[in-house]
Structure 1
Amino acid sequence: MKLYDAQAANAKRVRIFIAEKGIEVPKVELELGKDTRASEFRKLNSLGEVPVLELDNGNVITDSIAICRYLDALFPDVPLMGRSPVEIGRIEMWSQRVYQELFLPIGLMVRHQLPLFADVIEQVPEFAAAQRRLMPKKWQWFDQELSDGRPFITGDTFTFADVQGMTALMLADIFDLAAPNDCVNAVYWSAKVRSRKSWEA
């Protein structure tokens, strides 16, 4: 199999996941907005988006979360998405919450702000500004959720929910939207995940 990769937030999510799993997946590096919009690549993903995982049998999996689910099932030794029904449910719950509350507002801001997406959506600058204004409250919510002192998002163990959080954090860094210093629990979690080798993925 091979992973079609580029410098994009969703692709980073898969790179972090692969690094945490400790596996090797051959990569094809693409230039975002150029290679990803080319007709050859659109044969793999008609939306012109990365990441894309092409399997040896020719099957293709798009969407970063779908790719992570596939890799978690294929390489179960480090189960980032849980083993028991309770673990799977809790990790999925927190992954969705972190995606919706932290990653998505920044992602929507980016899509409505960067020229790269001008031909993909009808950009509304006021909407981008509104998403930026939301982020302090989003970090306050996250900070309160972590106020019980747990080191990772779902408890004592690093999971896919933390991968989701790291992806949001990386995007937040680029656009100067990181957790405010008074969100001490969020800042503590942020420092903890930044120290992991997968942060450099």
Structure 2
Amino acid sequence: MKLYGANAGNAKRVRIFIAEKRIELPRETLDLGTDTRSPEYLKINSLVEVPALALDDGQIITESMAISRYLELIYPDKILMRKSPIEQAQIEMWSQRIFWQLFLPIGQMVRHELPLFSNVLEQVPEFAAAQRRAMPGKWRWLDREMSDGRRFIVGNSFSFADIQGMVPLMLGDIFDLSVPGDCKNVLNWANSLRRRSSWTA
């Protein structure tokens, strides 16, 4: 197998996932905007996006969630998506909530704000600004949800839902969208994640 990635949020999720599971995979780091748009990479992913996982038989898996699910099944040590139906459902639910409420707004802001994406879509600066304004409220929503004292997104065990949350935390640091100081529950959770070795994956 070979993992194709870049300095991008979706690729970061997979890097954190494999670091948590201690999986060793050959990797190729691509440059966004050049390598990812090359004729060679177009054969791997026609959407010119990362990550992509090339299997030994030539099959390709794209999308960070799909790659993570595949790796979870073939590397069953240290389960991050849980075993019981209710645990799987809760992690899926919270992964989706974190994605839609935190990851996607930052991602949309980035795509409509950075010149790197100017030839990928029609950028709307006002939309980027609206996403930026919305983020403090998004973090406060999560803070209220975590006011029950849980250590992690789903109870007291680290899971894939926390990995979903690590990337918005990192992107928030980069793009001045960090967690507001009054979000004590989220800040405690964030501080615990920053201490994990996978934070630097």
TM-score (norm 1): 0.99
| Alpha-carbon distance in structure 1 between the residues aligned to 2:108 and 2:5 | 21
Residue type matched to 2:195 in 1? S
* 1:3 paired residue number: 3
Tell me the alpha carbon deviations over residues 68-127 of structure 1, each in whole angstroms, 9 at most, x when there is no partner: 111111111111111111110000000000011111100000011111111111110000
- SS of corresponding position for 2:167: helix
Tell me the alpha carbon deviations over residues 24-75 of structure 1, each in whole angstroms, 9 at most, x when there is no partner: 1110111111100111101000011111000000000011111011111111
- SS of corresponding position for 1:81: coil
Which residues in structure 2 correspond to 1:48-197 (within 5 Å)? Answer: 48-197=48-197
| Alpha-carbon distance in structure 1 between the residues aligned to 2:8 and 2:136 | 23
| Alpha-carbon distance in structure 2 between the residues aligned to 1:42 and 1:174 | 29
Residue type matched to 2:196 in 1? R
Question: How much does 1:15 deviate?
Answer: 0.2
| Alpha-carbon distance in structure 1 between the residues aligned to 2:74 and 2:119 | 36
Residue type matched to 2:28 in 1? V
| Alpha-carbon distance in structure 2 between the residues aligned to 1:172 and 1:82 | 28
Tell me the alpha carbon deviations over residues 154-186 of structure 1, each in whole angstroms, 9 at most, x when there is no partner: 011000000000011111111011101110001
Question: How much does 1:144 deviate?
Answer: 0.4
Identity %: 63
- SS of corresponding position for 1:73: helix
| Alpha-carbon distance in structure 2 between the residues aligned to 1:78 and 1:103 | 25
| Alpha-carbon distance in structure 2 between the residues aligned to 1:102 and 1:47 | 23
| Alpha-carbon distance in structure 2 between the residues aligned to 1:96 and 1:82 | 16
| Alpha-carbon distance in structure 1 between the residues aligned to 2:141 and 2:123 | 28
Residue type matched to 2:142 in 1? F
Q: Which runs of 5+ in 2 are unaligned?
A: none
| Alpha-carbon distance in structure 2 between the residues aligned to 1:121 and 1:111 | 8
Residue type matched to 1:27 in 2? R
TM-score (norm 2): 0.99
Q: Which runs of 5+ in 1 are unaligned?
A: none
| Alpha-carbon distance in structure 2 between the residues aligned to 1:10 and 1:79 | 20
Residue type matched to 2:13 in 1? R
Tell me the alpha carbon deviations over residues 174-199 of structure 1, each in whole angstroms, 9 at most, x when there is no partner: 10111011100010001000000000
How many positions carry a matched residue from both structures? 201
| Alpha-carbon distance in structure 1 between the residues aligned to 2:168 and 2:24 | 24
- SS of corresponding position for 1:154: coil
Once superposed, what is the RMSD of the aligned Cα atoms?
0.6
